[in-house]
Amino acid sequence: MFCHLRPVRRLCLEKICPHWFLSSRTLSGAEAINALRPFYFAVHPDFFGQHPREREVNENSLKRLSVYLENLQKPGFKSLKPTQLTFYVRETEQNSSEGQEPFSTSGFRAVKFTLHTRDLLSTVLYILNSCSLSVEHIQSSNTNVRPQPLKEAKRMPDRPIKWDKSYYHFTGFKDPHEDPEQVSRMETTLTSWLDNNGKSAVKKLKNSLPLRKELDRLKGDLSHQLQLSDIRWQRSWGVAHRCSQLQSLGRLAQQNLETLKNAKGCTIIFTDRSGMSAVGHVMLGTMDVHHHWTKLFERLPSYFDLQRRLMLLEEQISYLLGGIQVVYIEELQPVLTLEEYYSLLDVFHNRLLKNRIPFHPRSLRGLQMILNSDRYAPSLHELGHFNIPSLCDPANLQWFILTKAQQARDNMKRKEELKVVENELIQASTKKFSLEKFYKEPSVSSIQMVDCCKRLLEQSLPYLQGMHLCISHFYSVMQDGDLCIPWNWKDGEAIK
């Protein structure tokens, strides 16, 4: 499954790509996204609501793939580091052919591949072939990719792609074959969905209560034993899965207690790879064995030293940029290790030293910036922080920050005001519906949460009493009874 497109690229591509590809390699960013639609349809996290671990793997891999594709489009790029990705691919008509790795009973299989391509077209084709998805639509739908006439080849007639109805439902694209009135009549509403799924959620929640108590006990015992600040999970794994991870960590603590005490005062996060995160949390990869975890705990003192150097680097960047604070926002940035984030900061700091920007000292205090490797133009986020590319031109950066500084301060003020309103609405909703727990996914913004809560408070929803409610982007009953509803849920007529 692992194929590196290096000096043998010509040989590899002849095996996996059509003849017309070898003579034409141009593809725009928009065309690449369009060509990858079958792939996105097969791996979209929203289809894995009942499988949180697989959903998280796909979410993280899609973020890394997005970075890879954007870097390919940057002007003057030379080469990218090989990027290893893992996806859980749903069974579809396109990828259910014989001779492929069998699908699990849940209807999906794991696919691993390493990207080391140099252009968008070869990347798209490599991804589709790795996932056993057709590439015919690229030839028929893209004007920049034209097949070369071959004597032995017969030209197949072009035909439009007809997607499954669920594709339009989850992607938000309009189905050209649907009757608008029929769509409005068939659209899922919050009350109808709760009527159909409420009893199932209550049953699952009730069955999970003993395990939830055990989870709280295990978390409390380990936090006390290792003197941890907190134990968290990167995404919504099931309660049984979380208990298993804590039990595994508990067994390791019995064997190597002194080594694990190196994490004193830290937050431990169970995620998909081991290391230390950009914000200093200890990441335990759930697929790693005890040996890998032990090695990580042994290395924590060296990580703490790197963390101190990183904080010093942030202060130096802040000084050079008029006192603007360098922050890392976990909810908005790709998951980076401490080493990766330090390298990113170091590259940016060196560019600033070579091209000094004459900011007045402390003139930008109170403002915030995050550093990105997947952008090539600075921007101002609606929450008030600056998105700064690590390789941006310092002169352009100075002009952009100075002209947007006041708008950034206004945005930050609105963010704080919005956060207060959001918290008040969450408390009001929790109280009105007697919810046991009310929370949102990190990808749901404060604006979306406020809109959702305001409309919820206008409803009468008896099914929510005593439940765990998560505001998300889709409807789902999680395996332990948590109810997931989209922030833009509909009731009655569809929201325009």
CA 103 from chain center: how many Å? 24
Q: What is the pLDDT of residue 222?
A: 97
**Contact status, residue 94 vs residue 137, Cβ threshold 8 Å:** no
Give the CA dihedral 105, 107, 113, 117, nearest 10 degrees.
170
The three-state secondary structure class of 464 is helix
Smallest CA-to-CA distance from 136 within 35, 26, 12, 34 is with: 35
pLDDT for 149 beyond 60: no
CA 258 from chain center: how many Å? 35
Q: What is the pLDDT of residue 13?
A: 42
Report the distance separating Cα 314 and Cα 26, nearest Å.
40
The more confidently predicted of residues 160 and 227 is 227
**Contact status, residue 487 vs residue 452, Cβ threshold 8 Å:** yes
**Contact status, residue 441 vs residue 478, Cβ threshold 8 Å:** no
Query: How many other β-carbons are positioned within 10 Å of the β-carbon of residue 104?
Result: 13
Report the distance separating Cα 496 and Cα 493, nearest Å.
9
Q: Above pLDDT 90, what percent of the chain?
A: 44
Q: What is the pLDDT of residue 38?
A: 85
Gyration radius (Cα) of the chain, Å: 25
Q: What is the pLDDT of residue 146?
A: 41
The three-state secondary structure class of 162 is coil
Phi and psi dihedrals of 234, rounded to 5? -65, -35
Q: Are strands 230-233 and 108-115 parallel, antiparallel or unpaired?
A: unpaired
Q: What are the structure tokens assigned to 378, written together?
A: 């600075």
pLDDT for 387 beyond 60: yes
Tokens 């600033």 -> residue: 352
Report the distance separating Cα 371 and Cα 390, nearest Å.
6
Triad 145, 148, 151: Cα angle to 5°? 155
Highest mean pLDDT among 45-54, 181-190, 380-389, 420-429: 420-429
Q: What is the pLDDT of residue 494?
A: 36
Q: Provide the residue type at 315 as one letter.
A: E
Tell me the pLDDT tens digit for each residue of 449-482: 999 999 999 999 988 999 999 998 888 888 899 9
Tokens 């015919």 -> residue: 136
pLDDT for 391 beyond 60: yes
Tell me the pLDDT tens digit for each residue of 78-129: 667 788 888 988 875 444 444 444 444 456 788 888 888 888 888 888 898 8
Report the distance separating Cα 485 and Cα 476, nearest Å.
7
The helices-and-strands tally (H runs, E runs) of the chain is 16, 14
Phi and psi dihedrals of 363, rounded to 5? -70, -20
Tokens 């431990």 -> residue: 268
pLDDT band at 144 (very low <50, low <70, confident <90, very high): very low
Residue spans of the domains in the chain: they are 29-91+103-135, 209-392, 416-486
Strand partners for 276: 282
Q: Are strands 437-440 and 468-472 parallel, antiparallel or unpaired?
A: parallel
Report the distance separating Cα 191 and Cα 184, nearest Å.
15
Sign of CA dihedral 231, 235, 238, 240: negative
**Contact status, residue 1 vs residue 130, Cβ threshold 8 Å:** yes
**Contact status, residue 388 vs residue 370, Cβ threshold 8 Å:** yes
Q: What is the 3-state secondary structure (H, E, C) of 123-145?
A: HHHHHHHHCCCCCHHHHHHCCCC
Tell me the pLDDT tens digit for each residue of 161-197: 555 555 544 444 555 555 555 544 456 889 999 999 9
pLDDT for 15 beyond 60: no
Q: Are strands 386-389 and 368-372 parallel, antiparallel or unpaired?
A: parallel
Smallest CA-to-CA distance from 356 within 402, 325, 398 is with: 398
**Contact status, residue 59 vs residue 87, Cβ threshold 8 Å:** no
Report the distance separating Cα 166 and Cα 361, nearest Å.
55
Sign of CA dihedral 141, 145, 149, 150: negative
Q: Over the chain, what is the mean pLDDT?
A: 80
Report the distance separating Cα 25 and Cα 20, nearest Å.
9
Report the distance separating Cα 168 and Cα 170, nearest Å.
6
Q: What are the structure tokens assigned to 104, written together?
A: 């699990």
Tell me the pLDDT tens digit for each residue of 402-458: 999 999 999 999 999 999 999 999 999 999 999 999 999 887 889 999 999 999 999
Total count of residues recorded for the chain? 496
**Contact status, residue 66 vs residue 32, Cβ threshold 8 Å:** no
